[in-house]
Copies of this chain bind each other. A is one copy, B any other.
Amino acid sequence: SRSINLAVIPGDGIGQEVVAQGLKVLSAVLPQDVKLETKEYDFGARRYHATGETLTDADLELLRQHDAILLGAIGDPSVPSGVLERGFLLKLRFAFDHHVNLRPSRLLPGVRTPLAGQPEIDFVVVREGTEGPYTGNGGTIRTGTPHAVATEVSLNTAFGIERVVRDAYARAQARPRKKLALVHKNNVLVHAGHLWTDIFNKVGEEFPEVTTEYMHVDAATIYLVTQPERFDVIVTDNLFGDIITDLAAAISGGIGVAASGNINPAGEFPSMFEPVHGSAPDIAGQGKADPSATVLSVALLLRHLGYEAEAARIEEAVSVDLAERVGKPARSTDEIGDALAVRVAG
């Protein structure tokens, strides 16, 4: 009989509330014969304040035992900027080699977009997750003096680029439109940019059916708001991916519905799924958070573990639920979770 052994990290702020809905929907969608085991971990601001720890080697050892990880949100104003991001979120991505950071953008019917004319939006960004300017490489000298100098080093390897580029080609190949865009800034960041471009072109020879284009990151932000329908699959560097996926989320319904997967495709380590939004301390504990992004992240998790039909059922349920909201009074986090659980079970 089948089983899913899931690590659950509710985290901070609204993380608690939205993860509860994610688990509710997950339980409801799974067939009877799949045994779901969950273990909760208390990472985030409370643990940091209590122990000074963000993510220890022992923690990683425990997390490693799981099939996948579901995360709500990590971050709180009481913790200095960078501590939990670098000490937990990025540490986990690097430790578990989550090199494919998958962020789909679909503007679902009835969902509001800040763009005029309700454009067709249905693309996915494959963001590199373990290199670029995210490696922590760099430093500061003469801190606090008028002569301070700080550096940030972007590290890019053929190994790291090729695997994520190949993953993106395979995803493009599997989609009806079969289009792939490389987003970078190869006219200025020439060293990294040429390496990305060369590998992108070379791997492309293995995928003759995929139509490709290259776009500078600045131009990509223009096209995302003027012609979002032109995108199918985008592959890009860690930092550019961070920036354009927030914009992508904004135009396709907002971070309330944006899901993401931090994936280790070969399965050497458990992959981690989380909403794109943060912990939103201003609305935490009030039942105001939209759990849709977390529920859609559960769908990505299920797809990753091979439960394609269940993933599709969740996505369909969220789509119908969003469409039915139009003109209705707002529901609580819990009510939305209940409605989705009923719908996927049905």
- Residues on the B chain within 8 Å of A251, using CB: 225
Partner of A115, one of B116, B146, B239, B247: B116
In the docked arrangement, what's the CA distance between A27 and B145, Å?
Answer: 48
In the assembled complex, A283 has its CB within 8 A of some CB on chain B: no
In the assembled complex, A179 has its CB within 8 A of some CB on chain B: no
Q: How large is the interface on A (under 10, 10 to 19, 20 to 34, 35 or more residues)?
A: 35 or more
- Whether A191 and B247, one on each chain, are in contact in the complex, defined by CB atoms closer than 8 angstroms, is no
In the assembled complex, A148 has its CB within 8 A of some CB on chain B: yes
User: Which of chain A's residues 243-287 have a Cβ closer than 8 Å to chain B?
Assistant: 243-247, 249-251, 254-255
> Closest Cβ of chain B: how far from A227's Cβ, in Å?
9
- Residues on the B chain within 8 Å of A82, using CB: 186-188, 190, 193-194
In the assembled complex, A330 has its CB within 8 A of some CB on chain B: no
- Whether B188 and A159, one on each chain, are in contact in the complex, defined by CB atoms closer than 8 angstroms, is no
A197-221 to B contact mask, C-beta < 8 Å, 1/0: 1100000000000000000011101
> Closest Cβ of chain B: how far from A272's Cβ, in Å?
17
- Whether A155 and B146, one on each chain, are in contact in the complex, defined by CB atoms closer than 8 angstroms, is no
- Residues on the B chain within 8 Å of A188, using CB: 82, 85-86, 90, 133-134, 239, 242
- Whether A192 and B151, one on each chain, are in contact in the complex, defined by CB atoms closer than 8 angstroms, is yes
With known contacts A239-B185, A249-B222, A191–B151 Cβ distance under 8 A: yes
**Nearest CB in chain B to that of A159: its residue:** B146
- Whether A149 and B139, one on each chain, are in contact in the complex, defined by CB atoms closer than 8 angstroms, is no
- Residues on the B chain within 8 Å of A147, using CB: 157-159
